[in-house]
Amino acid sequence: MKLLTESQLELLESHLRLALDEAFHGSVLRPFTNNVRDYVLAGGKRIRPQMCLWSYQRMGHLTEGVPVSLLDVAIAWELFHAFLLAHDDIIDQAPARRNQASLHRQLALLDGDSATFGTNLGIVAGDLLFGLAMKRLHDADLSPAVYRPVLQLFSRIACLTGYGQAIDIWQTHLPPDAVDEASLLLEYHWKTAAYTFEGPMLAGAIVGGLGTAGQAAISRYALALGQAYQIQNDLFDLQSPAHDGCDLVQGKRTLTLLHARQGLDQGDRGRFDQKLCAIMQTDGQAVGRAETMRQELLDMGALASTQDVIKTFLHTARSAAGDRALGESFSTGLNELLDRLEEQYFRSTAESST
């Protein structure tokens, strides 16, 4: 998803590179810091910093240059994202990220491919990236009127994201009948919607001067869009052949899985649960069992009810975009963003299921 011009994207990228170079300059841990730096700079859509700059511009700053202080705020969200990915890959034991080895696997190679060494340094790398995100925010030359609200926003979102990750891990160890839709949607809210959409969008809007009523509308919009985005991502995973890192093999509880189970009678639910639990057995058959379950879910028509939930969230976002407190430019931009996402991101799964 591209929200900025090429020159603005280049400016964002160069500021991120500069921040990393400044942080790691002269480090005695050069092999370690080089890996961390390259990991952050290697690809990625930069969705969060784009959202931040885009929201600022929608506050009437379309023709102005981008203040350095805003760039600091924007890249803080990207550094926070990199921190989460580094730790998430360790939790999931993921071997790859962005078409290359995951960070902890790269770091393991610094000590003869030692898994313990790589994992330990991967945890520290994530901690370091979080610290760098906080440093950019604290050092940003923001006016007193927005400095404290931006810091409070970041702290709130960081805490929520941690809670969301905890729910995600916790629910993989619960029996299927102990997971309900409310807890799943709370996980989607906290783990994805808050830090991918609400935080960056609100940060840019706050720096741009949006009032509290408009900020509330942004939160409603961003959280609804973010939950729809995560649910759609789950559907994409379900439509791809099973593999080591897919949701079913990882034991992830998704809305589609929950809806499919709810449509069964008690006896069939028991058999359904047994198949789910069998995927998690450590006998080398997880991917094959997950693929069988994936095909069964598709044959059950599990996509349709999930798509209805997505449509409800998108309707909520559309309603929030019309809030008068946002102003005409911001409202128009939010609606145009929804139009693009419905065409480019949300439409593909609906078409493939018909």
Domains in the chain with CATH codes: 1-141 (1.10.600.10), 149-354 (1.10.600.10)
* pTM for the structure as a whole: 0.92
pLDDT in tens, 20-68: 999 998 778 999 999 999 999 997 899 999 999 999 999 987 666 789 9
Helices then strands, counting H and E runs in the chain, come out as: 17, 2
**Two structure tokens written together for 41:** 């700079």
pLDDT at residue 354, rounded to an integer: 38
In the predicted structure, residue 205 carries a pLDDT above the cut 80: yes
pLDDT for 63 equals 64
Quick check: helix, strand or coil at residue 101?
strand
Contact predicate 289/275, CB 8 Å: yes
pLDDT higher than threshold 90 for residue 198: yes
Q: Is the pLDDT of residue 222 over 50?
A: yes
127-142 pLDDT tens trace:
999 999 999 999 999 9
Query: For residue range 270-315, what is the model confidence (pLDDT) as tens digits?
Result: 999 999 989 988 788 999 999 999 999 988 877 888 999 999 999 9
- Grouping H, G, I as helix, E, B as strand and the rest as coil, residue 97 is strand
pLDDT at 93: 87
| pLDDT band, residue 353 (cuts 50/70/90) | very low
Q: Give the pLDDT of residue 338.
A: 96
Query: Which of 88, 138, 96, 109 has the alpha carbon at shortest distance from 35?
Result: 109
